[in-house]
Amino acid sequence: MILTELVDRMGLTPLTESIGSVPEIEAGYVGDLLSHVLASATPNCLWITIQRHENVVAVAQVAGLTGVVFAEGVRPEAKVVERAQNAGIALFSSPDSSFELAGRLHRLLHPERS
C-alpha cells in the first residue's frame, strides 16, 4: 500500500513535508530498542516507536526504512524533523499507542489475515 494512503487511513499526522516520491510500504515494525530494529525491521517498512531522539533518523536511514511513527503523542524536536527531512525519512505522530497503531497497520497491509 502506498504511504500516502496508509497515512490517511491510519489517521497519522505528518511531521515532515512530502519526501518527493510515493513509496510503497511493505511491512511494519514496532520497537524501542535500536539494535533490535536494525536486526529485524525490513527495508521499506513503517517503524512505530516512542523513541524520539536523533538516532532514530540514523537507524531509519541505515536500515532503509521508509518512515517512523511516533506513538502516544510523542513529538521529536525540530532538529530531528529537519534531519529526517534531509535524509528522506518520513516522520509521523499519533496520539494512539504502539499496540493500537500496529493493529491498524497490520489490518491494512494484511486484510486477509485479520
Partner 1 sequence: MQKHTHAPKESLCLNYTVRAEDVERGGMISSAIKTAIKKFGLAEPVARRVGIIAFEGEMNLIVYSNDGGTIRVCADAKQIEITVKDTGPGIEDIDLALTPGYSTAPSWATDLGFGAGMGLHNMEKNADRFEIESRLDEGTTIKCWVDRRTDDSN
Q: Which residues bind partner 1 (CB under 8 A)?
A: 32-36, 38-39, 43, 49, 51, 53-55, 57-59, 61-64, 87
Nearest-approach distance from CB 95 to partner 1, in angstroms? 21
The CB-of-55 to partner 1 minimum distance in angstroms stands at 5
Whichever of 8 and 42 has its CB closer to partner 1, that residue is 42
Nearer of residues 7 and 67 to partner 1, judged by Cβ = 67
**Residue 41 phi, psi dihedral angles, 5° rounding:** -70, 140
Nearer residue to partner 1 within complex by CB, 11 or 22: 22
Contact 85, 79 (CB under 8 A): no
Q: Which is nearer to partner 1, 53 or 110 (CB)?
A: 53
- Closest separation in Å from C-beta 68 to partner 1: 12
Rounded to a whole number of angstroms, the minimum distance from the CB of residue 10 to partner 1 is 23
Beta bridge pairs of residue 15: none
List the helix and strand counts (H, then E) for the chain. Answer: 5, 5
Q: Decide if 12 contacts 48 (C-beta within 8 A).
A: no
